[in-house]
Amino acid sequence: MKSACAIFVTACTLWGLSVQASEPGTTRYAVDLMAAPYRDAKLASNLSADTRVDVLERRGGWIKITAKGQAGWVRLHQVRLGVGPEKQGSSGLSALWNVGQTGRSGSQGIVATTGIRGLSAEELKTAKPNPKAVAAMDTHKVSEATARDYAHSAGLKENSVPYLSTSK
Amino acid sequence: MKSPKFGLLVVLAVALLPTPSTSLAFDFKNIDLNKLRDVGEKLKPLKKTSENDEIELGKDVAANLLGAAPLVNDPALQDYVNKVGMWVALHTERPNLPWHFGVMDTDTVNAFATPGGYVFITRGMLLHLRDEAELAGVLAHEVSHVIARHALNTMRKDALAGLAGDALGEYAKDKGGAGYAKLVSASTEVYSRGLDKNDEFAADRMGVVIAARSGYDPYALASVLQTLASINPKDDSMALMFKTHPDPTKRLELLMAAMEGNVDQYADQPKVEDRFSQIMKAHVSYYSAHKK
């Protein structure tokens, strides 16, 4: 419990301090490092598979990374976040890193140390209905006008966009 | 064994009801046509669920989900998620459903939607997100399941397969009865088993478009999938997600391929980082102050 609290306090303190800070990652395979976030941009360099990188920025489907003293852009699925071999996923340590560096909580770190309430398949099967909680959701329901005002206040503008085809 | 009997009755109903006078092979003395018509009525929900029934079933399934994990006690956070969620839902084919959004108080990383428009994101998921566009992307994925009736169709398929065959028989006539309760509980089980993986891929593809329509950077959902792929699958908080969804790396690859060249003109739309960061900061301090 103590260490969980410590993690939590750290999260509280550092949240938003440096959201733009870099995240560590690893190339999933050999990739071309582009000079700009465009398909036809100049090739800056290339990196071999399993190169340790830092993700500096996200722009649409592109991420700006640095590795071995070079910087450039790759598609975001070409890098897995975290350090180490595929399938292993992040360790408790990289969760802590998230808390400290990005302000993201790394809640998996908290789970690992406390066993704070989870939600398992078994719990879903045996759950007793809580209609009061559903009724309470009505108090937070917002009107279309409220949602529109709130979106516009953040500069969000509507578009007409067709659904993507499945053929690709 | 109720289901085979039901199956037989369906065949009988189909064979008999449209053209009762032409069927000479049956001994009408022993078949009560009113009863057959009754069965036809009872099976209606199997063929097509009315929007009202969809909403009612979804609300009761939501009650079960909230029985497993309660809502986060933070009114400001719940309001925020409703504002973002409603804006997203307005950009679908079913803007007038009674949309409700809620944050569940669990470290488990997941999100759910029940038929008719109850959408949930767990606190564990929320804490992994970078900005409002990522929240909108996750909610848009869930909203897509609702508008495409993915969960509802899965529940119906289960019922047809006999899981709740007898319950559905009683569904139409007795919504407060034991049969209906069984149906709700069987429908809740869909959330512990998951949807068809193709429904998940479809909701990813629809979700990014709905986010783009709503003015957000559509690639934010791809970033969330990249984050999910980075969490150790053995972590407790990921157990249900990995049990009920395809591998996030696979989802990310398929989604990026589907988006390629189709939504790039929206890639520079806002991520809304500042507002998200402020709300989350306020939430983290409110949550720790109100935690027992």
CATH number of the domain to which A93 belongs? 2.30.30.40
**ipTM, interface predicted TM-score of the complex:** 0.81
Question: With bands split at pLDDT 50, 70 and 90, how would you rate the model's confidence at B292?
Answer: low
- Would you state the pLDDT for residue A166? 72
Residue A144 domain-assigned (yes or no):
no
Residue A21 domain-assigned (yes or no):
yes
Residue A149 domain-assigned (yes or no):
no
Based on C-alpha coordinates, what's the Rg of chain B? 22
- Would you state the pLDDT for residue A108? 32
pLDDT tens for A8-40 read: 444 444 444 444 578 999 999 999 999 999 999
pLDDT tens for B228-254 read: 999 988 888 888 998 999 999 999 999
Total domains in chain A come to 1
Residue A73 domain-assigned (yes or no):
yes
pLDDT tens for A79-116 read: 999 876 655 444 433 343 344 334 444 333 333 333 35
Predicted TM-score of the model (pTM)? 0.81
Q: Is the pLDDT of residue B126 over 50?
A: yes
- Would you state the pLDDT for residue A94? 39
Q: Which residue of A60, A116, A143 is in closest CB contact with B268?
A: A60
The domain locations on chain B are: 1-47, 52-60+71-152+193-290
Q: Do A133 and B63 touch (CB under 8 A)?
A: yes
Residue A67 domain-assigned (yes or no):
yes
Residue A39 domain-assigned (yes or no):
yes
State which residue of chain B sits closest to A138, comparing Cα positions.
B100
- Would you state the pLDDT for residue A86? 58
- Would you state the pLDDT for residue B161? 66
- Rounded CA separation A40/B58 (Å): 48
Q: Is the pLDDT of residue A4 over 90?
A: no
Write the secondary structure of chain B as one string of H (helix), E (strand) and C (coil): CHHHHHHHHHHHHHHHCCCHHHCCCCCHHHCCHHHHHHHHHHHHHHHCCCHHHHHHHHHHHHHHHHHHCCECCCHHHHHHHHHHHHHHHCCCCCCCCCCEEEEECCCCCCEEEECCCEEEEEHHHHCCCCCHHHHHHHHHHHHHHHHCCHHHHHHHHHHHCCCCHHHHHHHCCCCCCHHHHHHHHHHHHHHHHCCCHHHHHHHHHHHHHHHHHCCCCCCHHHHHHHHHHHECCCCHHHHHHHHHCCCHHHHHHHHHHHHCCCCHHHCCCCCCHHHHHHHHHHHHHHHHHHCC
Residue A53 domain-assigned (yes or no):
yes
* Tokens found for residue B204: 């990813």
**Lowest pLDDT segment from B145-159, B160-174, B181-195:** B160-174
Q: Is the pLDDT of residue A126 over 70?
A: yes
Average pLDDT in the B6-21 region? Answer: 36
Mutation to test the A interface, candidates B226, B254, B256, most A Cβ within 10 Å: B226
Average pLDDT in the B84-105 region? Answer: 97
Contacts of B259 in chain A (CB under 8 A): 61, 164
Identify the domain containing residue A26 by its residue range. Answer: 2-112
pLDDT tens for B128-158 read: 999 999 999 999 999 999 999 999 988 888 7
* CA of B49 vs chain A CAs: smallest distance (Å): 22
Question: With bands split at pLDDT 50, 70 and 90, how would you rate the model's confidence at B281?
Answer: very high
- Would you state the pLDDT for residue A115? 38
Average pLDDT in the B161-171 region? Answer: 52
Residue A147 domain-assigned (yes or no):
no
Mutation to test the B interface, candidates A52, A56, A63, A119, most B Cβ within 10 Å: A119
pLDDT tens for B188-201 read: 888 998 999 999 99
Average pLDDT in the B196-208 region? Answer: 96
